[in-house]
Structure 1
């Protein structure tokens, strides 16, 4: 009887301990963090039990996506309606709630610069739904020393000299796109084409060719799977995550894990074939995988220890990242560029004239692409108005000083790229207008001294490693499109910027196109 009594007390104590932990997670800790933030003068929404502001975020997004907007580049209220409302209500530095964690919004350039510079202190978000990591745990997800190791080994793949060798593969994919559109177009009249799916396939083909060389057909399948996975991950992130729920055998959880298994198996097969070929003396360093494997092997030999290199699983994760980041960034940049040039036909004509002067009807080369000034101005302005990633997430893993405030440990931080790019205080009253002339003297001239106001590829030490690759691909594709086609918006075009990880046209990109 005494033993059973002791066991009962132990069970009661364990239950009480778990209940107190749960209450601390969903109420006491969030309220304590809210009090600390308000005591420092920050304004924000009041914490709501467990869900925080998630329900309002989802409802506002659902309402925003229910209909297109007028043809305007003032897209912030549609793309991030809750964030837009919060910053207008509480100020450029404020907080809302992502479940039981505070989300500190930062759209002040000097503070953003400090956060991006201190990448060891302000790390990527952790503690959310672990299924989000199925998209890739490579360089973009790595932190501190692991990040430094991955960056060092991957850097050679994106060196300018290596990119020159990839230009023929980029050209081949662009030529296939041009041929498809020419086949669809009557010789002396226009035809409506939704260019968005074609540009997605173009960027997927480019990444497939430049990442895996002769295995690019296999790469296409990987892209399709990664895209489905991204949509499922976004749905998961828009609901409160209960620890352990990712292990439940729900239909969506099972599908996400199935996709990840298929993607890993496909990439592993490609890597195994390449490794065998390298051992037989067929070294290929003209694609990203070959350069990465070569860089990895050199580092292992130099250090004399395999731990200094990447494991096969780490190489797989980097390949997944090549796919996702490479395809998303360039495809989005191209589609918004065509949409904007279809509206601003004067800039389309200026860009075509420049392309004609440099290349005529000849095949574009890397030297000519580097001389394109008007095209470069246009791409920079598109990236300002429609950045691929609308916000950058960070986290304070310990109490961290930022300017005059201290961010409590465990707080999420959101750097508001889209709001920053559309801020009238920074860009002027015409901040929402398409004006490529802003960049006539380059990016550095438009940046306020000592600040970070333009972040299409992030910033600081973690600035996107593939930005030069993305811009070379975009210049090649745009050059070849301008050489062969004129285009304007179709009457059936509906303006609906929205995010599925990156900023995309919800209703497609319907253009009326004709041959030049």
Structure 2
């Protein structure tokens, strides 16, 4: 029976889906038993990363070489195989708009792998519906105008410390990506969790290790039955890291709770952790979140907050280094508005050139791929019928 089940799930169903899509004009690389196209994807990525890239080269072939190759070969819309799961790739604007609009909630967020779930949990990025709305509301409350105004002094202090360090290294090469990683770690730890840089840095270091493990396993195929009987070294390591991250987060949470209970402070606080704790202790069960949700949101914010801001800052610096004219325009604007003063929110809102540079960087770097979606029922995209 196990063999029949294996052949049904990993041969019959994929071949049936492939035939159905091919008959509608949606082509793609042929399905390979069990592994799908994962081995091809791994080889393409290794080959792409082995080559040097110029400062002005198109990054898409390097970051997603499989999508680049198959789009040129099969057209704007094609299907490929992540193991035994068919993944339809679309790049026509109207179809992308249709999927993202998702008015009937047919397309759901793609769930993390077992390894990804171990270290990140089911936070805001991956939840849906009413639960998403409740958690999103918490994030919005944390980062409204007045809250950001209160965070500004801490952010300025962290940036000043970094710049003073840079001044002492004049003429030397600085690894800005690493510097921005330290900066974002410190800012997030202080402003969102009220914890020390040292506490936050240990969590970030473990999240970095977890990210490497997840990226190494993105194109690996797992058969459910075998995965239950035998755990890979990466899965065991991810479980160990997940437990360590959870333990450290719980210490930060407990420390904040104890201060409120012992009367050292009047409330849990107005930062992100404080709002999470207020909802966790809410007397109304409908508004309350679980301890698991609280920890998942802390993990999500630590990871997503650092990774996105860190990468954005590094890309902005790179683009300004390439385009010295825009670097000079941005510098003149900052000097005109602030002079010798420290930045403040009112002035930051007037930085039109800097805002444009940030938006253009986001457009160039983050526009190459939309978030993946899952479909669990029969539906259509454009003229194509998808049967699950």
Note whether the superposition's TM-score is higher than 0.5: yes
Give distance in 1, aligned partners of 2:251 and 2:219.
34
Q: How far off its partner does 1:71 sit?
A: 2.2
Aligned residues: 383
Q: Which has the higher contact order (CA 8 A, sep 6+)?
A: 1
1:257 aligned partner: 239
Is residue 191 from structure 1 mapped to residue 172 from structure 2 by the alignment? yes
- Any idea what SS the aligned residue of 2:321 has? helix
2:308 aligned partner: 329
Q: How far off its partner does 1:399 sit?
A: 1.3
Q: How far off its partner does 1:247 sit?
A: 6.4
Is the 2:60–2:368 contact (alpha carbons within 8 Å) kept by the matching residues of 1?
A: no
Q: How far off its partner does 1:370 sit?
A: 1.1
State the superposition RMSD in angstroms.
1.9
1:317 counterpart (289, 293, 296): 296
Is residue 122 from structure 1 mapped to residue 128 from structure 2 by the alignment? no
Within-5 A mapping of 1:16-35: 17-35=1-19
Greater percentage in strand: 1
TM-score for both structures, normalised by structure 2: 0.93
Give distance in 2, aligned partners of 1:177 and 1:376.
22
Give distance in 2, aligned partners of 1:122 and 1:115.
7
Within-5 A mapping of 1:28-107: 28-107=12-91
Give distance in 1, aligned partners of 2:237 and 2:269.
35
1:218 counterpart (171, 189, 199): 199
Moved more, 157-166 or 325-334: 157-166
TM-score for both structures, normalised by structure 1: 0.71
Is residue 288 from structure 1 mapped to residue 269 from structure 2 by the alignment? no
Q: How far off its partner does 1:146 sit?
A: 2.6
Give distance in 2, aligned partners of 1:174 and 1:396.
44
Is the 2:185–2:197 contact (alpha carbons within 8 Å) kept by the matching residues of 1?
A: no
- Any idea what SS the aligned residue of 2:372 has? strand
Alignment gaps of 5+ in structure 1: 1-16, 410-516
Is the 1:296–1:310 contact (alpha carbons within 8 Å) kept by the matching residues of 2?
A: yes
1:172 counterpart (157, 182, 185): 157
Is residue 163 from structure 1 mapped to residue 144 from structure 2 by the alignment? no
Q: How far off its partner does 1:286 sit?
A: 4.0
1:378 counterpart (357, 361, 365): 357
Is the 1:329–1:388 contact (alpha carbons within 8 Å) kept by the matching residues of 2?
A: no
2:340 aligned partner: 361
Within-5 A mapping of 1:106-505: 106-118=90-102, 120-126=105-111, 129-134=113-118, 135-185=120-170, 190-244=171-225, 245=227, 248-279=230-261, 280=263, 281-283=265-267, 285-297=269-281, 300-301=282-283, 304-305=284-285, 307-387=286-366, 390-409=369-388
String of CA shifts for 1:179-209, please: whole Å, max 9, x gaps: 1111212xxxx33212111111111111111
Moved more, 205-214 or 111-120: 111-120
